[in-house]
Amino acid sequence: MMFQLLVVAVAAAAVVGDDLPPSCGKPVYCDSDLLHFVQMARLYPDSKSFVDMHMRRDPEEILEDFDQLLNSSQRNPTREQIQAFVNENFNEEVEIENWLPSDYTENPKFLLGIRDEKLRQYGKDLNGIWPNLGRKVKASVLENPDRYSLIPIPNGFIVPGGRFREIYYWDTYWIIEGLLISGMPETAKGMIDNLIQLLKKLGHVPNGSRYYYQERSQPPLLTAMVSLYIRETGDTKFLKDNIEALEDELRYWLDTQIVTFDKGEETHTLLRYYSPSKGPRPESYYEDYSGAQNFQSNDRQTEYYIDLKSAAESGWDFSTRWFMDADGNNSGNLSTIHTKDIVPVDLNAIFANALQNMAYFEGLLKNTRRASHWAYLAKQWRSTIQEVFWDEDDGIWYDYSLSLGKHRKYFYPSNVAPLWMGAVDKRLVKKHSARVLEYLAKSHGLDFPGGVPVSLINSGEQWDFPYAWPPLVSVVVNALEALDTEEGKKVAFRVAETWVRACHKGFLESKQMFEKYDVEVPGRFGGGGEYTVQTGFGWANGVVLEFLTKYGRTLTAEDSPSDEGSS
For residues 374-391, average pLDDT = 98
User: Taking the alpha carbons of 276, 277, 283, 288 in that order, is the dihedral positive or negative?
Assistant: positive
Higher-confidence residue of 48 and 164: namely 48
Give the Å distances, CA to CA, from 326 to 300, 329, 331, 333, 338: 15, 8, 9, 12, 11
Q: Given a cut of 70, is residue 438 above it in pLDDT?
A: yes
Q: Given a cut of 80, is residue 253 above it in pLDDT?
A: yes
Strand partners, 258: 271
Nearest-Å Rg of the Cα atoms of the chain is: 23
Query: How confident is the model at residue 161, as a pLDDT?
Result: 87
Query: How confident is the model at residue 1, as a pLDDT?
Result: 36
Quick: pLDDT tens for 118-158: 999 999 999 999 999 999 999 999 999 999 999 999 999 99
Percent of the chain with pLDDT strictly greater than 70:
96
Query: How confident is the model at residue 7, as a pLDDT?
Result: 37
Quick: pLDDT tens for 198-223: 999 999 999 999 999 999 999 999 99
For residues 458-476, average pLDDT = 98
Give the Å distances, CA to CA, from 194 to 189, 212, 336: 9, 17, 36
Give the Å distances, CA to CA, from 240 to 2, 247, 354: 15, 12, 16
CB 104 within 8 A of CB 187: yes
Q: Given a cut of 80, is residue 181 above it in pLDDT?
A: yes
CB 557 within 8 A of CB 533: no
Under the banding of pLDDT at 50, 70 and 90, the label for residue 402 is very high
For 92, half-sphere exposure in the C-beta direction (CA atoms, 13 angstrom radius) is: 7
Query: How confident is the model at residue 353, as a pLDDT?
Result: 98
For residues 162-188, average pLDDT = 96
Under the banding of pLDDT at 50, 70 and 90, the label for residue 355 is very high
Quick: pLDDT tens for 228-251: 999 999 999 999 999 999 999 999
| Contacts for 354 with CB less than 8 Å, ≥ 6 apart | 220, 222, 223, 224, 249, 250
Catalytic residues: 317, 515
Query: How confident is the model at residue 527, as a pLDDT?
Result: 86
Length of the chain in terms of residues written: 567
Whole-model pTM: value is 0.95
- Identity at 565, one-letter amino acid code: G
At 150 the three-state DSSP class reads strand
CA-nearest of 170, 165, 148, 157 to 59 is 148
Query: How confident is the model at residue 533, as a pLDDT?
Result: 79
Write down the mean pLDDT value for the chain: 95
Q: Given a cut of 50, is residue 11 above it in pLDDT?
A: no
CA-nearest of 138, 252, 136, 276 to 202 is 252
For residues 16-29, average pLDDT = 86
C-alpha to C-alpha distance for 530 and 514, rounded to whole angstroms: 16
Query: How confident is the model at residue 2, as a pLDDT?
Result: 39
Phi/psi at 183 (nearest 5 deg)? 70, 40
Quick: pLDDT tens for 81-112: 999 999 999 999 999 999 999 999 999 999 99
